Structure 1
């Protein structure tokens, strides 16, 4: 039987922070990571890049964690871009309409450019 795991790595760059997840962002798996995100310092010039390149699954709990973090970030006028390269995960973002709230990038470089610009989604964070 495959044991599900989740990990988070935080990498502070010159003007943004990369939060990289690995594993399954699912119910029962993310409580510790949720707590860490809530205590994260918001001391960054431009914002955050959420790296989902090593995520194998995400459910409504995982999306909720990202949305709640985004609400905390938006109060400080910081931006978020999300890196998604896997077609399965990209489809989950489309089904949940999270891709209408956040810009989806294919690389860290593309995400970095997005958080420095004025990206406007189809749905606002408050409407989601």
Structure 2
């Protein structure tokens, strides 16, 4: 009986190791933004985020700008905010927050959350410099 356990346990470990190897070696494929079918505002945003993940800044910003041309009430700021965040562009994020703050003040909305987020981004930018 001892003989069976001596071979069963190592054999089981080998099976687990071989079975788990593909998941450990799983490498996420590179995104292909060119293959995205642009039929909604969210598909444009997704394509822009994928360009940003590939560090293709110009293409990402152009894709966000296309939202404004394709959709009458398209919200370019959401797309730009995501792209700037992925690219790590704090100045771009601050620009978007300042524009949002100005719009909220003009509409008479509560601006506390936007102001605190804007201050956080400015402090973060100052720490990096």
TM-score, L = length of structure 1:
0.32
Question: Higher strand share goes to which structure?
Answer: 1
Higher relative contact order, structure no. (Cα contacts within 8 Å, ≥ 6 residues apart) = 1
TM-score of the superposed pair, with normalisation by structure 2? 0.32
Bigger share in helix: 2
